[in-house]
DNA sequence: TAGTTGACGACGG
DNA sequence: TCCGTCGCCAACT
């Protein structure tokens, strides 16, 4: 598969700090993909090709774990977040605002 | 080749 | 504030 932008998405996801989360829109915005759905596509594909990717740190803009259905088992996404100290209530991160991380911080660091 | 789908988000009523 | 609709664009059938 020569979809280079998939790799770009993986790179960003891999850089998300432990205990922090981000949204599909933030990644799409940072990479200039134009659509958050592209990020969803990349992440769905990552389940098959990038098993070590911390995809559980990517939520939708409401802080909901909309992608958990693609994990095996689905509870794994929630478990991984809790393991990192991120509270999950009813498939959602209550303090999403405070834990939200924008890829822009990555560019500012380097 | 064309139509449908999808782990989303912004906007208008 | 809540809900429905539309746009985004690549992959799949």
Cα–Cα separations (whole angstroms), residue A4 to A19, A35, A53, A99: 27, 16, 16, 28
Model pTM score? 0.92
The distance (Å) linking the CA of A27 with the C1' of C6 is: 21
The distance (Å) linking the CA of A24 with the C1' of B8 is: 7
User: A16-57, pLDDT tens digit by residue?
Assistant: 999 999 999 999 999 988 789 999 989 988 887 888 899 999
Q: Indicate the domain borders of chain A.
A: 4-109
User: A70-96, pLDDT tens digit by residue?
Assistant: 888 889 999 999 999 999 998 999 989
Report protein residues in contact with nucleic acid strand B, where contact means CB under 7 Å: A 23-25, 28, 35-41, 43-44, 46-47, 55-56, 58, 60-62, 66-67, 69-71
Using 50, 70 and 90 to split pLDDT, how confident is the model at A3?
Answer: low
> And the tokens for A46?
């990552």
Q: Which fold has domain A4-109?
A: Arc Repressor Mutant, subunit A (1.10.10)
């Amino acid at each position: 598969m020569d979809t280079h932008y998939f790799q770009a998405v993986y790179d960003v996801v891999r850089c998300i700090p432990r205990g922090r989360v981000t949204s599909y829109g933030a990644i799409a915005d940072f990479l200039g993909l134009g659509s958050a759905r592209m990020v969803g596509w990349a992440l769905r594909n990552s389940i098959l090709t990038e098993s070590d990717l911390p995809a559980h740190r990517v939520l939708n803009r409401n802080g909901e774990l909309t992608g958990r259905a693609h994990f095996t088992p689905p509870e794994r996404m929630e478990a991984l977040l809790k393991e990192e100290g991120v509270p999950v209530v009813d498939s959602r991160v209550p303090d999403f605002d405070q834990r939200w991380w924008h890829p822009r911080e990555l560019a500012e660091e380097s």
